[in-house]
Structure 1
Amino acid sequence: MKRTLSMLPILALAGCAADPQVRGSYFSEAGALVDGGNFGGATMQNTQVMNGERGYVYDLSNRFASEVPSTVNFGFNSDQLDAVARDTLRVQAAWIRQFPEVRFKVYGHTDKVGSPGYNKTLGLRRARAVVGYLATQGISTARLEAVVSFGETQPLIVTQGRERRNRRTVTEVSGFVSSHPIIMDGKYAQVIYREYIASAKPASEIKMAKSSATLTEE
């Protein structure tokens, strides 16, 4: 009985050695394998829902997507921005400048050609290229994130070959700048509907004076 029990740790370690990921978790801090970098994400989302921010982010995201071309496409195996991409990003930048209280995230994507690991890196390079260009248009990088790459996992067109529409970045609203005074006051709606409210004001406050002919008749 003793002999059988003494072999169990050896068998357990042998099993760990067969899977490098499990072995890495065994010899590192507790929870390293479980945490994929999103620790606290659920709590943050619950907080945003409770204070109303989540709903306003959703509304502003829909507005951005409907008013601005949010997608930029790339050449094969490239993270270089062509003339069409730069034109699109200038339009994005003009819209983003209207909302200094809002943060944005850029998601990178690739087609299916190449290994998953390489494509994930390529997607991130594309996202960073977009953020870099938006920065040249006067957008603070403190409000721009290029930390997400989906690589080849979310194609628009399902194909194993080259497909330009899959080689893209997508810019989306990701939240509000928490230190901004108007956000600290909870005035999210003012941000979302700012231009709509301004457009409803009278074009002019100037009152027309009566003509001299009318004054004589009276």
Structure 2
Amino acid sequence: MKKFVLATLIAAALTGCAADDPNKRTKTGAAVGAAAGALLGYAVDDGTGGVVAGAAVGALAGAGVGRYMDNQQREFEQALADEQARNELQIQQLENETLKIDIASEVSFDFDSASLKSAFTPTLNKVADVLQRYPKTVIHVVGHTDSVGSESYNQRLSERRAQSVADYLASHGVERSRLYATGRGELEPRATNETEAGRQLNRRVELFVKPIVEGQESEAYQAP
């Protein structure tokens, strides 16, 4: 019964969030939080207003998640505007309040190397600076390669590159406990490996910045 009530509340709440609303993410978070909070209040209601208290707490937490991630995205876009203009990286928001920063390997690593290019470290300094101001997030660093070379070699290279980025961020103020590095090798191409242009798109490092949400803390630590 409680699950049905929660689903009904969330569905009703989301119906009120316009698809083209620029504040959709914040409002959606608030709506879902309010629905979850209301159900929590219902579950512990002792007849003294527990439902109201639960709803209020849920709504605040929900809206807070959206605002927190919206503000963080805004700071990333401001700090990395030059890099975006040069197509060195892309910043996007995902449906689950996660921010994704997609970094081209050509600007971050030399060919067949897991050592960061010195010219790219100022960009990572900016990333680290923003991440330090938003400590309620977990950062997943994921490395990818093209299909040139053996699958096992590409897997190791992607892991080493992801670890290099994570190590650099940790050495510049981001708590290591927030950083998780992994490699996907050649397994997740986003373009064909039959052309140089496609292989260039496939060689990349992605940063997934996931919020730590009260009551759902473990989800932030799950691989994207």
Rg comparison, structure with higher value: 1
The structure with higher relative contact order (CA 8 Å, sep 6+) is 1
TM-score by length of 2: 0.48
